[in-house]
Amino acid sequence: MAATGITIASCSPGGGLGLNNSTGPGAAGGSRGALSFDPARTLISYFSVPLTDQSANNREDVENSMHVVDGNVLGNTEYVAQLIQERTGAQLFRIETAQSLPVSMDTLTDEAEVEQEENARPGVKAPISDLAAYDTIFIGYPIWWYDLPMVLYTFLEQHDFTGKNIVLFSTHGGSRLSGTVETITAALSGAAVNQNAFTISRDDMHDAPGEVDSWLGSLN
């Protein structure tokens, strides 16, 4: 969709991405001064919307929201989350809304705009149950209407991230990070929010493995 709309990360079950966990500058214990992650103490949380599980014959706007790997349909943000997981060995946590979201792109776009205008706080299906077990939390999201999806505000407000290291990643349709790093930094004043956030366009998802490697290797 145009940058004025939303870039949606659809989600469906999928297998591994065929990546080697121990290679690349972003691997746990990697070189070049990369930030080291204790897999047992690191969580990758991400928001993704299931629009389709069909890998072909979709509308262009639906095609823009997903990435197909070995026949598995992944949302753009989900794909990045899994790339990070395979390189760090961390755990994955999917942020889900309490209420089912529409599978129509047009309807979802309209609802997302209304939620933003109303400063809504959609319910989260389940919080992180063992937040104390993690020192580092990755938070991933698509950009919707130049901002975080409103359910991300619920997620941020629902958890106490005080003392945690926060690392951000996003997918977009042209608006890049759109001020979300500043928004999350302000919202999580008690956490250490890494300002080196990752973002990638829906048009560049085939470059994501190398881009994620480079980014993880640059974290400190």
Q: What is the pLDDT of residues 58-111, one digit of tens each?
A: 555 555 555 555 667 677 899 999 999 999 999 999 999 999 887 777 888 899
- Residue from 188, 182, 105, 185 nearest 144 by CA: 105
How many other C-beta atoms are found inside a 10 Å radius of the C-beta of residue 35? Answer: 18
**Which residue reads 């881009």 in tokens?**
211
- Residue from 151, 156, 107 nearest 128 by CA: 156
Interior angle at CA 43, CA 42 and CA 49, nearest 5: 160
pLDDT band at residue 22 using 50, 70 and 90 as cut-offs: very low
Mean pLDDT computed over 165-172: 95
Tokens linked to 204: 């560049």
User: Which 3 state secondary structure label does DSSP give 127?
Assistant: coil
Domains of the chain by start residue, with CATH: 39-218 (3.40.50.360)
User: CB of 82 within 8 A of CB of 17?
Assistant: yes
- Residue from 169, 175, 13, 178 nearest 88 by CA: 169
Question: In this predicted model, what pLDDT tens digit does every residue of 111-137 receive, in sequence order?
Answer: 999 999 999 999 999 999 999 999 999
CA distance 8 to 24: 28
Q: Element (H or E) spanning 113, and its range?
A: helix 105-117
CA distance 116 to 57: 31
Tokens linked to 5: 């709309």
Written as one letter, the residue type at 102 is P
Cα dist from 36 to 111, 135, 157, whole Å: 39, 12, 27
Highest mean pLDDT among 61-70, 127-136, 166-175, 200-209: 127-136
Among 23-27, 70-74, 134-138, 189-193, the range scoring the smallest mean pLDDT is 23-27
Written as one letter, the residue type at 11 is C
